[in-house]
Structure 1
């Protein structure tokens, strides 16, 4: 079934047939119908006289002509498959020849796979611009204050929010941030998921998820080989359970999107990879930290629910949140159901030529 879904996702990004193609197909079909009537043997006339070709009337035959033409181009019309959203004919195109993002036909979203498929279709219609290693990613973020000086945790809407501006060089040779209105530039990187790694990820969701699992497994193998010291002795950590491995994959992808400005195709592939992780669910009607309407992809593991927010119109990444789903004693720290441990919104992102630039 994955192959069928991948085929459908690819087809959804292809253009509608030209009007002349549809007209020609309709003419050929009508001519064939007339020719069939004139050549029909007499002995079949009484039996088939009341039955139109393929059980269609003239209106149905015309609709079939449109369906044949559109299916040849890889897309079904809203009459061909339930749930496909109707759209005006595509007349615009991007420089790559793909359909304009504003005229795409996208399916209604019922689950994580549908969301990923629409994001992939939209990304395929956008110009593919590769950033240079010497450029910088600018991010403006909003963060909720979840706890102050060991006080009560955050429940519900945060009273205090912090806005942060940061820059990150794409080759990880530098990062920068605003401190009291002044730009502070540092060498090196403070990010766990590096930009070269993110930009090297494949556009195929399955291959991308395999790469993430390989990374997690490699890091886990290193920990098993050289376990942390405790009381002067080294011990071997317990191997990851299947649920923990899937949880880390979700968090790894979410962290990559949170701290980077990504090409649309990479972001769409990451949505597709998230949708393939066991336990990942889709929820509509959400609102992010900035109050923007969105939808979420989320996964519950143990006592935590990790979720990312996505714009349902543009499929842009909006932010993330981690919520406690049940009371839990976390190494002496009491966590309560509904407590928010982390909440972040990505307000703006751009690829710029130097730290300090915003567009």
Structure 2
């Protein structure tokens, strides 16, 4: 018989291994990963309950069929709950969970729950909540310096807009637009300045605001944005309270477009940007599109919502790195304005920054 060498015990092997090192994550990233984990657990709970309800209906039908054939009901089979993923205990620091989730994101997106694909069929676009969750993560990792009250937020974009004065949209040429938004607190009669087609003009106070336009949803400053709720549900409730709704427009559409305006033409704290994307994922009717393009033709994944009243579709475009590229609005069905697909407006964000004076550009 061959001699079998001694095998060291588990404790001895463990002493030979290096000490595990927990990855360091910012607090805000840990909070985001924790919320994502909670959403996954909640989704599994809903899927399990739906599966149980479906199985109960089938059992009742089978039981009724057996009674009809034999005159008596057979005893129901005992079913044990199915756990799709092992239970996870959240450690006090949350480092292990955050690290595992970060690794999972690096390996690829989670499966899309909104539909199924046949074998050999190309997969559809990621679900809207997945796209917006990625955008939230990218926004959270983007550091921005606080904006002083004496400075201006600068945004340069390429835009196309339709003139509706004739009753039919007449699309103008693609051109550059530069915007300087005042960060002054209180009411201001000049909220900012715009340079378009080589001409510099000032933004006027809102119609009827003879004393100037106050800070708020129609004049969002960095400080005002920083004070918005960070919890998505609370933020969405707040935006529904503040966002004006045009005649013939759905409230959810108005809020969706308001979020698009905020993330497209503002500079804000990373936590606020992340919360806005997560709040948008909670708006009914928001979905993803496989291919979308901004005003300059840059392609990416789209996040869209249709206003069933007006027949208009608002679309945000995100690049491969999940950064916000731009947006556009077009008709989703035939209306008095024109046929489906008619472009009403489009923009492509080129540069953002903070400057000391209106007219200055970031160095």
In the other structure, the counterpart of 1:210 is 237
Between the aligned partners of 1:182 and 1:340, the Cα distance in structure 2 is 25
Q: Deviation string for 1:219-266 (max 9, x for gaps)? A: 57xx9xxxxxxxxxxxxx8xx8xx812111112212223332233332
In the other structure, the counterpart of 1:85 is 106
Aligned pairs (5 A) from 1:102-113: 110-113=126-129
Q: Does 1:122 align with 2:122?
A: no
In the other structure, the counterpart of 1:322 is 329
Q: Does 1:169 align with 2:182?
A: yes
In the other structure, the counterpart of 1:339 is 342
For 1:195, what is the secondary structure of its paired residue?
A: coil
Between the aligned partners of 1:134 and 1:312, the Cα distance in structure 2 is 35
Pairing partner for 2:149 from 133, 139, 157: 133
Structure 1 gaps of 5+ residues are 12-67, 87-104, 224-236
Between the aligned partners of 2:201 and 2:358, the Cα distance in structure 1 is 9
Conserved in 2, the CA contact under 8 Å of 1:10 and 1:121? no
Conserved in 2, the CA contact under 8 Å of 1:298 and 1:305? yes
Q: Structure 1 residues 166, 10: CA separation in 2 closer, same or farther (over 3 Å shift)?
A: farther
Query: Deviation of residue 133 (structure 1)?
Result: 1.8
Pairing partner for 2:317 from 277, 301, 309: 309
Q: Deviation string for 1:323-347 (max 9, x for gaps)? A: 1121123xxxx42111111212222
Q: Structure 1 residues 122, 257: CA separation in 2 closer, same or farther (over 3 Å shift)?
A: closer
Between the aligned partners of 1:188 and 1:10, the Cα distance in structure 2 is 45
Q: Structure 1 residues 76, 175: CA separation in 2 closer, same or farther (over 3 Å shift)?
A: closer
Q: Structure 1 residues 124, 74: CA separation in 2 closer, same or farther (over 3 Å shift)?
A: farther
Conserved in 2, the CA contact under 8 Å of 1:208 and 1:273? yes
Q: Deviation string for 1:77-109 (max 9, x for gaps)? A: 59x99x6433xxxxxxxxxxxxxxxxxx97688
For 1:123, what is the secondary structure of its paired residue?
A: helix
Between the aligned partners of 2:195 and 2:159, the Cα distance in structure 1 is 15
- Root-mean-square deviation (CA, aligned residues, Å) is 3.9
* Count of residue pairs brought into register by the alignment: 251
Q: Structure 1 residues 162, 72: CA separation in 2 closer, same or farther (over 3 Å shift)?
A: closer
Between the aligned partners of 2:349 and 2:334, the Cα distance in structure 1 is 29
For 2:281, what is the secondary structure of its paired residue?
A: helix
Q: Deviation string for 1:272-305 (max 9, x for gaps)? A: 1111000000123322111222221111122111
Pairing partner for 2:225 from 167, 178, 198: 198
Query: Deviation of residue 123 (structure 1)?
Result: 3.4
TM-score by length of 1: 0.58
Pairing partner for 1:352 from 355, 359, 362: 355
Structure 2 gaps of 5+ residues are 1-30, 39-90, 112-124, 207-212
Pairing partner for 2:96 from 47, 62, 73: 73
In the other structure, the counterpart of 1:178 is 195
Between the aligned partners of 1:271 and 1:179, the Cα distance in structure 2 is 29
In the other structure, the counterpart of 1:292 is 298
Q: Deviation string for 1:121-177 (max 9, x for gaps)? A: 3333343532112211111111114348749646xxx78212111211123744123
Between the aligned partners of 1:134 and 1:107, the Cα distance in structure 2 is 44
